[in-house]
Amino acid sequence: MPTRLAKACPMLGCAAVAPCPIHGRTAAREAMRGSAAIRGYDHRWRAFSIRYFGELTDLRVPRAGLCGCRHPSAPETEDSVCARERRPRLATLIDHIVPIHGRDDARLYDVTNLQGLCDACHNAKRQREGQRAIRRG
């Protein structure tokens, strides 16, 4: 009977066997997702994000540059705890309201699918989305 070889932890330089007691199952999921550039978050995305926040300022969007800001054509969401509690925290990244699936997804640069979020609100949203995917799974 052939023996199964144990898979190594996908984190670079880690010699542990998966699931790694240090990096857990998250490391395997991250390795499967690919790099940010492969997912479409490259130099073009960084330039777009600067223009996006500038456009919100030019349009005099409420909370422009703050967590929870979005283009007037984008739907309202409950993703920003900062906006709900009226905390003025800077938006550190642009979030896709409806998650995209790679650099070829037509919604990658769609302003009706974008919102500015701080790291804490973005991480909480990602965690909720991950839990929903696990339950559907």
Pair (57, 12) in one structural domain: no
Pair (63, 117) in one structural domain: yes
pLDDT score for 12: 60
pLDDT score for 15: 73
In this structure, what are the phi and psi dihedrals at residue 123, rounded to the nearest 5 degrees? Answer: -65, -40
CA atoms within 13 A on the CB side of 76: 6
Pair (23, 51) in one structural domain: no
CB-CB contact of 64 with 115 (8 Å) = no
Pair (52, 4) in one structural domain: no
Pair (29, 40) in one structural domain: no
Number of structural domains found in the chain = 2
Pair (20, 49) in one structural domain: no
pLDDT score for 131: 83
What's the domain range around 110?
36-136
pLDDT score for 2: 54
Pair (121, 69) in one structural domain: yes
Give pLDDT < 50 ranges for the chain.
none
pLDDT score for 14: 74
Token pair for residue 33?
């997702």
pLDDT score for 102: 84
For residue 72, whether the previous peptide bond is cis, meaning omega lies within 30 degrees of 0, is no
pLDDT score for 64: 95
Token pair for residue 44?
């073009």
The rounded distance, in Å, linking the Cα atoms of 120 and 12 is 26
Pair (64, 90) in one structural domain: yes
pLDDT score for 10: 62
Pair (15, 66) in one structural domain: no
Pair (56, 23) in one structural domain: no
